[in-house]
Structure 1
Amino acid sequence: MPRAEWNGEVIAESDIYETVEGNVYFPPESIKREYFVESPHTTTCSWKGEASYYTLSVNGKTNTNAAWYYPNPKPAAQNITGYIAFWRGVKVK
C-alpha cells in the first residue's frame, strides 16, 4: 500500500491509487487534511491541464506547494481527477 510521509508523519495512505509519469496519485479521501493548506499556485501541463497545489504544514514545518492535483483535468487524465501527488522531499513508499 503506497503511503506519503513528510516531516515524521504519514500524510496520505491508500490501496487505491494511480501512477502517472512515475508519480503516485492518492485519492482525495486518503490524505490527512489537517496537514494540507490550499495554495494559490497553479501550473499547466500540456496533456493533463491546470494543476492546483497544497502547502504542507506538519509538526511546525511548512513545505510550500509540495502536493498537486488536477481538479478538472483534460480528457486524457480523467483517471486522476482530484487525486493528489507529491514532491519536494515528500517520500512515497
Structure 2
Amino acid sequence: MKIQLTLLSEPTRTFEFQGRLGWTLVQLVEAGPLGVTTIERPAPRWSGYIHDLRKCGIPIETEMEPHKGSYPGQHARYVLTCDAEVKLLDRGEQA
C-alpha cells in the first residue's frame, strides 16, 4: 500500500508513505479523534510505526487507558492530532 497524506494544519504538508506506515496512517485518519488501540486494530508493531511517523513530523499523541480482564493494566490509544486527508496511490496488490 502506498498513500499520500496531507496534513491540513498550517502550514499544509504532504507526505508519501508505503507499507505498514501507510496502513497505520489510514487507520489513524479513519479513526478520527477517537484514535486507535492495538486491541481494536491489531498489528505487530504499532509503537514502532508511531515512533517512525513521529520522526517524520506526523503529530500523533499517545493516551494511556486502563483495561480489565485476566491481565489488567494499561494500553495505548494513538490519536492523530490534526485534520488530514489520505489518498491511495497504490494498493500494492500483485497480479
TM-score between the two structures when normalised by the length of structure 2: 0.34
Decide which structure has the larger Cα Rg and report it.
2
Q: Which has the higher contact order (CA 8 A, sep 6+)?
A: 2
More helix by share: 2
TM-score between the two structures when normalised by the length of structure 1: 0.35
More strand by share: 1
